[in-house]
């Protein structure tokens, strides 16, 4: 597991922070999105005006809410799947781990 981003929740329920890997460092905004159906994401992920991901609100086995995140871009070798989890205070961490078989 690796922390690839740190975020803060805004007063409007969105998130703002930085996505950081060995090859990428970008200011990122995760904004609420109106659901058009049950499968639609709860949030959209942007760098500036460019959308490059989505997130779904989930609940862990122990009852804690988190965001299941999927980000993709033509410059990525593969999509990034991660979880945005609450830490101390108003701090949230974007946690990535390689899926088995990758």
pLDDT the model gives residue 1? 80
CA 82 from chain centre, in angstroms, equals 6
Q: Is the pLDDT of residue 14 over 70?
A: yes
- Counting beta carbons within 10 angstroms of the beta carbon of residue 56, is it exposed (0 to 12), middle (13 to 18) or buried (19 or more)? middle
Q: Which of 91, 78, 80 is nearest to 54 (CA)?
A: 80
Check residue 101 and give its pLDDT: 58
CA–centroid distance for 2 within its chain: 13
- The predicted pLDDT at position 102 comes to 52
**In sequence order, what are the beta bridge partners of 75?**
none
């Amino acid at each position: 597991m690796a922390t690839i981003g740190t975020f803060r929740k805004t007063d409007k329920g969105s998130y703002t922070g930085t996505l950081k890997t060995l090859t990428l460092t970008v200011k990122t905004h995760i904004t609420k999105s109106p659901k058009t159906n049950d499968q639609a994401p709860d949030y959209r992920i942007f760098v500036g005006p460019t959308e490059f991901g989505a997130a779904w609100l989930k609940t862990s086995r122990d009852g804690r809410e988190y965001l299941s995140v999927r980000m993709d871009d033509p410059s990525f070798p593969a999509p990034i799947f991660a979880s945005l989890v609450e830490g101390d205070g108003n701090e949230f961490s974007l946690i990535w781990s390689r899926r088995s078989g990758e």
